[in-house]
Amino acid sequence: MTQGKTIAAAVVGATGYAGAELVRILWDHPQVELKAVTSRQYAGQAIADVFPAFQGVVPLVCEEFNAQSLGERVDVVFLALPHKLPMAIAPQLEGTNTRIVDLSADFRFNNQAAYESVYQPHTSPELMKKSVYGLCELYREEIAQASIIGNPGCYPTCSLPPLAPFIQQGLISTKGIVIDAKSGASGAGRGLSLTTQYCEMTEGFSAYKAAAHRHCPEMEEILSREAGRDVKITFVPHLVPMSRGMLATSYSMLEKDLDTPAALEILRDFYKDAEFVKVCADNALPRTSHVRGTNYLHMAARVDEHANRLILVSVIDNLVKGAAGQAVQNMNIMFGLAEGAGLKAVPYPV
């Protein structure tokens, strides 16, 4: 092991967008040695042939996934595979000392029926019960004890943190919450699809899966946990013509008297120790360009007094805080490292 690099890691599905972002972050991580990257299609080929940006920087060659080999070689495996595969792959690593951070939805849910209502029958329900939802800012203590993490979806990562303090403190109604969110195209992954082709998505944008997206039950489970009662939301995602970035706006009815300065103060107080959450200046609203390529989440609040509504706006980079960055933040917490290790590059100013 290279000096100072005490944790050996592997990325399974390294040739997808989230997997490649993991390679980028882990390669520079001061305490991690990235030992293996896997792919079916590109096994035997250099990762730098798949992503030329890595030429002369990352010399790794893609290998076929082999649970026994990874279990012997690494301390942590990141699964950056499509949903429904990790529930079959993760059990193969049981019995080794290897911890797992899964970027798919397979280990995000506590409620098996909720998972199955939008995905498929779960074949590893025992492992699902052991897993911890890796929303770092809310579940740090459980994450520190976990052997398997369900890394949250990008829309929940962006939308839930601003809502959490208000729902926990009973300041907003648990009824009638609306989340309207916009994502860049990398959220759909690297596979070819008509909707993410240049001509289909440039110079315009569209809503999709209105009130029918699989992140709705994921968000409802967490909001219900934080509220201590059942919460139902309306969620409408949109695809916008940019490669990465996400913005979520939520609308909730206020239960208590609150103005904008008080709402901002609630966010600032709740996240005062969270190094990756920044509440915007009083007169500013978040912009996706300010978090591009970073693990930061920027948020702001406004009270629409004439309608008695709380409006929360938040932004992330879907591939970093929304996927690979949060996965590494989870690993840092699991292994007792500084939470921001490998994640603190200075953001682009424009």
Ligand X SMILES: CC(=O)N[C@@H](CCC(=O)OP(=O)(O)O)C(=O)O
Ligand Y SMILES: NC(=O)C1=CN([C@@H]2O[C@H](COP(=O)(O)OP(=O)(O)OC[C@H]3O[C@@H](n4cnc5c(N)ncnc54)[C@H](OP(=O)(O)O)[C@@H]3O)[C@@H](O)[C@H]2O)C=CC1
Catalytic residue numbers, as ranges: 154
∠ Cα 268 156 129 (to 5°): 110
Distances in whole angstroms, Cα of residue 16 to Cα of each of 21, 22, 270: 8, 10, 35
End-to-end CA, the chain: 38
Which of ligand Y, ligand X, none does 13 bind, CB closer than 5 to 8 A by kind?
A: ligand Y
* Least distance from ligand Y to the Cβ atom of residue 210, Å: 20
Per CB under 6 A, 10 contacts ligand X = no
Q: Does 187 bind ligand X (CB under 6 A)?
A: yes
Those residues whose C-beta lies under 8 Å from the C-beta of residue 197, and which sit 6 or more positions away, are: none
Residues 289-328, mask of contacts with ligand X (x by CB under 6 A): -----------------------------x----------
Beta carbons of 175 and 255 less than 8 angstroms apart: no
Q: What residue spans of 231-320 are helical by DSSP H?
A: 260-270
Q: Does 105 bind ligand X (CB under 6 A)?
A: yes
CA distance 149 to 327: 9
Instruction: Assess 135 for contact with ligand X (CB under 6 A).
Output: no
Residue number with CB closer to ligand Y (153 or 217): 153
What, of ligand Y, ligand X, none, does residue 15 touch, CB below 5 to 8 Å by kind?
ligand Y
Compute the distance between CA of residue 178 and CA of residue 236 in angstroms, rounded to an integer.
8
Q: Residue 69 is encoded by which pair of tokens?
A: 């080999």
Q: Which residues bind ligand Y (CB under 6 A)?
A: 13-19, 39-42, 80-83, 85, 103-104, 153-154, 186-187, 189-191, 318-319, 322-323
Exactly one of 48, 60, 61, 188 binds ligand X (CB under 6 A); that residue is: 188
Structure tokens at 270: 């709740």
Indicate whether 201 belongs to the interface with ligand X (CB under 6 A). Answer: no
Dihedral angle over CA of 72, 342, 164, 90, nearest 10:
-20
Q: Give the count of beta carbons closer than 10 Å to the beta carbon of residue 144.
A: 14
Among 76, 154, 177, 279, binds ligand X (CB under 6 A): 154
Residues 6+ apart with CB under 8 A from 305: 259
Distance CA 111, CA 153 (A): 16
Report the distance separating Cα 123 and Cα 151, nearest Å: 19
Nearer to ligand X, 45 or 197 (CB): 197
Choose the contact partner of 16 out of ligand X, ligand Y, none; CB within 5 to 8 A by kind: ligand Y
Selection from ligand X, ligand Y, none that 239 binds (CB < 5 to 8 A by kind) is ligand X
Minimal distance, residue 311 CB to ligand X, in Å: 23
Q: Nearer Cβ to ligand X, position 134 or 153?
A: 153
237 touches ligand X by CB under 6 A = yes
Q: Which residues bind ligand X (CB under 6 A)?
A: 105, 153-154, 183, 187-188, 215, 237, 239, 318
